[in-house]
Structure 1
Amino acid sequence: MPDFPDRLAQPDDLEALRAVMARAIAQLQHDFLTPEQVAASHQVMGLDTQLIADQTYFLVEDGAGTIAGCGGWSFRATLYGGDASIVARAPQRLDPAHDAAKIRAMYTNPDFTRRGIGRRILGLCEEAARAAGFTRAEMMATMAGVPLYEACGYARVEPILSAAIDGVCVPLVRMEKPLRRSHRGSRENT
């Protein structure tokens, strides 16, 4: 994808990232959730700026600098949720020898769906987590994301419901994947 460069997100990207996330939640979840659940999703999902501070949050842009997608991984215990979400934070560091890296805040700009952007960002996250010594990754997936994550080798571990927001719970799925190195010395996602 040469005309879609990737890079680590910086604090200057926050406004554009939040706009992409809001559009993705509003437009890409509607085939999987009720309108009330989509509205509640804005309080469950979002960007945790700790990922940008930790330099573990990627974005992919088109040639004009528009964010096509974004996502990150974390060496901290928080599994999901953004700065403005109702989800509690757990900022303690994980031990790669025992813990799974956390795949976090994966979003595709609705104008760029079905172009491999999500798969590419997920690969960047997995590679970075492997380089940091992690052998497993886990995530809290949205219902819209489950098909992509299953296609990329993630297995469903357990369904959960978010805390109620104005009486509405958002369905989510905790998923896991082993991160292995190939026998040839190169890394691969199996």
Structure 2
Amino acid sequence: MTPPRVTLREATSADAESIGDTHAASIRALGPDAYDERQVRAWLSNVPPDRYPLEDPDHHVVVAELEDGDDEIVGFGVLDYDSDGRDDRSTGEIGAVYVHPDHVREGVGRAILAALESAARDAGLETLVLTASRNAIDFYRRQGYEEIETVSLEMAEGVRLECLRMRTALRAA
């Protein structure tokens, strides 16, 4: 069976709820592969639709939709051009790449990541960093990202997720 084709577009404020739904579905389905129930619940508590930087000029947010025309968002990604306000203007940060669990391993995540990397190159960035949850580390390794360090993110008071900080050098397309 051929996987469905997707199209990518820049997200709009009207997409916030669908992005949140995709984000939560991904965490619910894939999070338990890497974290316990309490950690997954805490992770989910950080998914309100108003948290996405859809109107922020320092961010680029893309959504993936199925080409069959039903406008269903099956994934999204966030690029922060000015990661943490650092003086190093050559480094950006991938803030998210999430795919709906019904469409994992169909190339959606790779397409989203490629679009974000292309936007980063177009903006003159030379390096991208990200913080990968345990269940996403292998995906990013396959895309050429290298380990920097293990970090622990607080999702709720007293609930932390061990993640891996990673980076890649952007090469000309």
Which amino acid in 2 is paired with 1:20? T
1:165 pairs with 2:162: no
CA distance in 1 between counterparts of 2:99 and 2:8 reads: 13
| Structure 1 outlier segments of 4+, above 6 Å | none
1:133 pairs with 2:124: yes
Change (3 A) 1:72 1:165: closer
CA distance in 2 between counterparts of 1:118 and 1:32 reads: 18
- Return the TM-score normalized by structure 2: 0.87
State how many pairs are aligned.
167
Change (3 A) 1:144 1:94: farther
- Sequence identity (%): 28
1:30 pairs with 2:37: no
Which amino acid in 1 is paired with 2:134? M
CA distance in 2 between counterparts of 1:94 and 1:133 reads: 14
Change (3 A) 1:77 1:60: same
- Return the TM-score normalized by structure 1: 0.80
User: Which whole-Å deviations, capped at 9, do the CAs of 1:7-64 have from their partners, x for residues lacking one?
Assistant: 0000000011111111111111111111111111124567743254336101110122
**Equivalent in 26, 42, 63 of residue 59 of structure 1:** 63
Q: Superposed, which structure 2 residues align to 1:3-18 within 5 Å?
A: 3-18=5-20
Give 1:6 deviation, angstroms.
0.8
In terms of fraction of residues, the more helix-rich structure is 2
CA distance in 2 between counterparts of 1:52 and 1:125 reads: 16
SS at match of 2:121: helix
In terms of fraction of residues, the more strand-rich structure is 2
Is this contact kept in 2: 1:72–1:106, CA < 8 A?
A: yes
Q: Which structure 1 segments of 5+ residues have no match? A: 79-91, 182-186
Is this contact kept in 1: 2:77–2:116, CA < 8 A?
A: yes
CA distance in 1 between counterparts of 2:154 and 2:6 reads: 37
CA distance in 1 between counterparts of 2:74 and 2:171 reads: 28
Change (3 A) 1:2 1:24: closer
